Amino acid sequence: MTDDDLRFETRAIHAGQDPDAPYGSVNVPIYQTSTYAQPEVGAPKVWDYARGGNPTREAFQQALASLEDGERGFAFASGLGAEATLLLTLHPGDHLVLADDVYGGTYRLLSKVLSDWGLRFSTADLRDPAALSAALTPATKLVWIETPSNPLLKIVDIGAVCAIAHEHGARAVVDNTFATPALQRPLALGADAVVHSVTKYIGGHSDLIGGAIVTSDEEWIERLGFLVNAVGAVPGPMDSYLALRGLKTLAVRMRAHCAGARAVAGYLRTHPAVAAVLYPGFDDHPGHDVAARQMQEFGGMVSFRVASAEKAIDVARRTRLFFLAESLGGVESLIEVPGPMTHASVAGSPLEVPADLVRLSVGIEHPDDLIEDLDHALA
Ligand SMILES: *Cc1c(COP(=O)(O)O)cnc(C)c1O
């Protein structure tokens, strides 16, 4: 039996994680080393220096690649480190199309950093095939998808967008941070690579910053293998260990996040102070049918609108269990107001969000306690 025959929950525990040879340690050890003793000159056992590779990192990479149904995983020091390294596979003059509500840090990396190095990009509503086709140019090498999106929870049809990109001779990447492979596997839907902020659901406990890429594209596997070492945005062994530890419980945590979000969204929808609830699990969410097709469940994120920016700030200050904080995907619930917080850097850009929007990352506490907390804050 190979790992490929095993189911998701089992691969999360076993892929890349055989007990270690000398002692049978059932946990992959934290190989806290910068270099490796070589048996002969110029003949390292596996790696010569730990920027290029580390056994703890390698175990995490293999486990994540298995869960994403990909050939090869690469771990990075942050989600943006992963994205920057992937974008360095492109060349000056190349063009990208980004989802028009892509993660703000991705937009900033392109607009404030890589555009100075000759990468060009435009944004498009990837839910609309005509808008995507109009944005493609002969120089377009990459289409950058994020679904569900942040914080509006728009849903993009991964298979449809990948098909258009491929027809055009471009590759397609999916930022799978919000869904995770427990709910959505973009490579099987046609994507050429998946990127992650491991900081979020994969790490899952708000105790690390990390990123990852998974791909089965031979050219990218080779180039990324080189760039990992040449650029050096790599995670340390301790963070690799925490990421692997998080990955083991991803499936069970996602079930709890999804159930909590469903309950919280349903409650918010009935509240008179709430003007709109954005949650892909609702039948009338514009992306519901696509989400139902390409995701196993609808995720742990819920956004909602109240009457004014002041009310949004007031609610976010008054919850007790939902901590007022940026980030998402941890076991503890978080609340934030994207306009002045996570999305402040995109004010005035096409990515600007409504001022009265509140975003929740629903944790794995008991949903009834979370609902009581919101009820108090909204009163
Ligand atoms: C947080 C996040 C990133 C960036 O990841 P970091 O680990 O913070 O560098 C990228 N994409 C999405 C969707 C995110 O939520």
351 — pLDDT class (breaks 50, 70, 90): confident
Residues 6+ apart with CB under 8 A from 247: 12, 60, 63, 64, 67, 202
Laid out side by side, the sheet with 171-175 consists of 72-76, 211-215, 193-197, 171-175, 140-146, 95-99, 120-124
User: Is 200 among the residues known to form the active site?
Assistant: yes
The token duo for 313 is 């700030």
Note the pLDDT of residue 206. 97
Q: What is the pLDDT of residues 145-204, one digit of tens each?
A: 999 999 999 999 999 999 999 999 999 999 999 999 999 999 999 999 999 999 999 999
The token duo for 240 is 């690799």
Domain boundary among 214, 232, 248: 248
1 — pLDDT class (breaks 50, 70, 90): low
Same-domain pairing of 125 and 256:
no
Q: Which H or E element spans position 130?
A: helix 129-135
Helices (H), 216-272: 218-231, 237-248, 250-269
Same-domain pairing of 79 and 213:
yes
Ligand 1-lining residues (CB < 6 angstroms): 78-80, 103, 105, 146, 150, 175, 177-178, 197, 199-200, 209, 211
Note the pLDDT of residue 21. 87
Same-domain pairing of 165 and 107:
yes
- How far does the centroid of ligand 1 lie from the alpha carbon of residue 305, in Å? 23
Domain span at residue 85? 3-248
Burial class of residue 155 (count of CB atoms within 10 Å of its CB; 0-12, 13-18, 19+): buried
What is the pLDDT averaged over residues 350-372?
95
Residue identifier of the C-alpha nearest atom 7 of ligand 1? 79
Closest approach atom of ligand 1 to CA 198: 7
Domain boundary among 200, 220, 248: 248
Note the pLDDT of residue 3. 74
Q: What is the pLDDT of residues 88-139, one digit of tens each?
A: 999 999 999 999 989 989 999 999 999 999 999 999 999 999 999 999 999 9
Per DSSP bridges, beta strands 357-361 and 323-324 are unpaired
Same-domain pairing of 192 and 50:
yes
- How far does the centroid of ligand 1 lie from the alpha carbon of residue 216, in Å? 22
- Pocket residue to mutate for ligand 1, from 87, 174, 197, most atoms within 8 A of Cβ: 197
- How far does the centroid of ligand 1 lie from the alpha carbon of residue 198, in Å? 8
Residue identifier of the C-alpha nearest atom 5 of ligand 1? 79
User: Is 311 among the residues known to form the active site?
Assistant: no
Instruction: Please tell me the pTM assigned to this model.
Output: 0.97
Same-domain pairing of 284 and 232:
no
Same-domain pairing of 219 and 340:
no
Per DSSP bridges, beta strands 95-99 and 193-197 are unpaired
Same-domain pairing of 144 and 214:
yes
346 — pLDDT class (breaks 50, 70, 90): confident
The token duo for 170 is 């471009």
Q: Which of 171, 185, 200, 253 is catalytic?
A: 200
Bond from prior residue into 39 cis (ω within 30 degrees of 0): no
Q: How far is CA 231 from CA 35, 82, 129, in A?
A: 17, 11, 35
Same-domain pairing of 187 and 319:
no
CA distance 15 to 7: 11
Q: Is the pLDDT of residue 68 over 80?
A: yes
User: Is 100 among the residues known to form the active site?
Assistant: no
Which residue bears the tokens 């449809």? Answer: 160
Same-domain pairing of 86 and 49:
yes
Residue identifier of the C-alpha nearest atom 2 of ligand 1? 197
Note the pLDDT of residue 46. 96
Considering its fold, how many domains does the chain have in total? 2
Radius of gyration of the chain (CA): 21
- Pocket residue to mutate for ligand 1, from 78, 80, 154, 328, most atoms within 8 A of Cβ: 80
Return the CATH number at 201.
Answer: 3.40.640.10
Same-domain pairing of 232 and 300:
no
Same-domain pairing of 36 and 131:
yes
Q: What is the pLDDT of residues 114-126, one digit of tens each?
A: 999 999 999 999 9
Same-domain pairing of 291 and 181:
no
Return the CATH number at 335.
Answer: 3.90.1150.10
